[in-house]
Amino acid sequence: MRETVTLRLAPEVIKAAKRRAQADNRTLTNYIETLMIRDLQGAATLEVIAPPDIREFEAVPLPGETKAERKRRDALFHALLDKTGH
């Protein structure tokens, strides 16, 4: 069962949230609830800061790293770059 909650927010925060909700084609309530769910689930964000030519370099093997571990690390690294558009 849903529960009604009253919030006091600064007018500029409400305006910005309404614009973002409208841009996502959702209600303000749905937008706020989605943000809260993400935060409560511990969804982390990751920003990759890398030089534009990062894909031209080869990663240094870690001490004791197997070929399979190295392959997995390289795949993860490239997946992060692909996800962030770098």
Residue 21 has which token pair?
A: 């909700």
Whether 59 and 77 have beta carbons less than 8 Å apart is answered as yes
Angle at 43 between CA 40 and CA 47, to 5 degrees: 145
18 assigned to some structural domain? yes
Q: What integer pLDDT is reported at residue 85 of this predicted model? A: 57
Residues 40 and 4 in one domain: yes
27-79 pLDDT tens trace: 999 999 999 988 888 766 767 677 788 878 777 888 999 999 999 988 888 88
Residues 32, 68: Cα–Cα separation, whole Å: 42
Is residue 49 domain-resident?
A: no
pTM of full prediction above 0.85: no
In whole angstroms, give the CA distance from residue 76 to residue 48: 12
**Same-domain pairing of 2 and 20:** yes
Give yes or no for residue 86 having a pLDDT over 80.
no
Task: Look at residue 33 and tell me if it is in a domain.
Answer: yes
Residue 36 domain boundaries: 1-44
Same domain for 61 and 36, yes or no, is: no
Number of domains the chain is built from: 2
Q: Tell me: do 58 and 79 sit in the same domain.
A: yes
